[in-house]
Structure formats: structure tokens, C-alpha cells
A = this chain, B = another copy of it.
């Protein structure tokens, strides 16, 4: 039945994601995955040709979802006419949106950031593309608000990466590495909002 097959596949994906999160890609064996999914060894290969392909599949799923969420989070919510308070509020919402998104995909972020899977070229490619698209959005905002007017493209990229680093490093510790409450996220986002605002609009 179609339903059983889909269910089995999902069970395998779920079990794998859990295990990759717990032990990393390399330390997770196909035998662990099938054991947790409650299926036989051979069943795994009915759905995924290799362990690697399963991982890429999971990564792509998440990546797809995150890219869409990023679009949405960064959708033009600020305008030049806003007051300082309004801009800060919008910035805060954006940052918090990011954090929440990372929390939602905590498992896969954990694997990527903590365990590292970059031996697989496909994985590297996906990650780079994801980074790129976030940088594009940040640079777009820089230009819109005419921040750093003296910067060249290279300097913009450095600045975008720096902002990106602020977001991911704090996410890593407060969201990915530990369970975090709504309140925790709010606090982190609040601090980052202040810092970023000061660094950008606040100092102009």
C-alpha cells in the first residue's frame, strides 16, 4: 500500500535525523537507523540507495523549507520613513524570526554545525548556496539604507558575513546546543537588535 510505504520511509527519515543529531553522520550506522525505525536492514535500501543519499535528502528538505522561511522573514518590513522605534521593532522581529527558524530546524543545524559533514560535496554545495542567499538579502538592506556608502562589494560581503556570524554563533549556543524557551530567544534577539542597530542605523 502506498500509505505503508510512505510511512516506512518517514519512519526511516525520522529515525535517521534523530541519530544523526545524537551521534553525527559518521557515527550513525545504517544498522542503528533501521533498528530505531523498526524495520529490517534491507528495507532501508528500498527507499534510499545509500546512507549518503538519505542524508542529502534530509538536508535538502530542511534547506528548502529554510530558504522559503528566510524569504518570508526578511520580506521588506522596514522603510526609510519609519521612526527609530519602528525600525528597531522590525529589526527585532526579523532577528527573532531567524532564531525561531533555526530552532525549528535545530536537529539539522546541529548536525551541520557541530558534527560537520562536509566530506560530502553535495552537502557543501547546499550549505554554500544557503549562506549566499542570506548574504544577498543583508547586502540589499545595507544598500537600501545607504549604510556604509564608502564600501565596495567586497567590503559589503565582509560586513554581511560578520552580521551572519553574529546570528549563527548566538544561535549555535543558545538555540542549537540547548533547548531554548520563547523567553530565551526573545532575550538573545533583543541584545542582537541593539547591537546591530547601533552598528548600522544608530551610528549614522
Residues of A in contact with B (beta carbons under 8 Å apart): 23-24, 26-27, 113-119, 148, 151, 154-155, 158-159, 161-170, 173-174, 187-188, 191-192, 194-196, 198-200, 202-203
How many copies, total? 4
Check if A162 sits within 8 Å of B169, measured CB to CB: yes
Which residues of the partner chain B approach A196 to less than 8 Å between Cβ atoms?
199
The smallest beta-carbon distance between A13 and chain B, in angstroms, is 21
A164–B172 CA distance with the chains assembled, in angstroms: 12
Check if B118 sits within 8 Å of A162, measured CB to CB: no
A106–B192 CA distance with the chains assembled, in angstroms: 29
Q: Which of B115, B119, B174, B198 contacts A23 (CB 8 A)?
A: B119
Which residues of the partner chain B approach A115 to less than 8 Å between Cβ atoms?
116, 118-119
Which residues of the partner chain B approach A161 to less than 8 Å between Cβ atoms?
169-170, 173-174
The smallest beta-carbon distance between A187 and chain B, in angstroms, is 7
Main SS at interface, chain A: helix
Q: Which of B116, B195, B202 contacts A24 (CB 8 A)?
A: B116
A194–B151 CA distance with the chains assembled, in angstroms: 11
Task: Decide yes or no: A162 and B203 within 8 Å by CB, A27-B119, A116-B117, A119-B27 being known contacts.
Answer: no
Which residues of the partner chain B approach A203 to less than 8 Å between Cβ atoms?
198-199, 202-203
Which residues of the partner chain B approach A154 to less than 8 Å between Cβ atoms?
187
The smallest beta-carbon distance between A155 and chain B, in angstroms, is 5
Check if A192 sits within 8 Å of B116, measured CB to CB: no
Check if A166 sits within 8 Å of B173, measured CB to CB: no
Check if B170 sits within 8 Å of A168, measured CB to CB: no
Which residues of the partner chain B approach A195 to less than 8 Å between Cβ atoms?
159, 162, 199
A200–B117 CA distance with the chains assembled, in angstroms: 36
Which residues of the partner chain B approach A174 to less than 8 Å between Cβ atoms?
158, 161
Which residues of the partner chain B approach A163 to less than 8 Å between Cβ atoms?
166
26 CB contacts below 8 A, A to B, read A24-B116, A24-B119, A27-B119, A113-B116, A115-B119, A116-B117, A151-B191, A154-B187, A155-B187, A158-B170, A158-B174, A158-B188, A158-B192, A159-B191, A159-B195, A161-B169, A161-B170, A162-B166, A162-B195, A165-B169, A166-B169, A169-B169, A198-B200, A198-B202, A199-B199, A203-B203
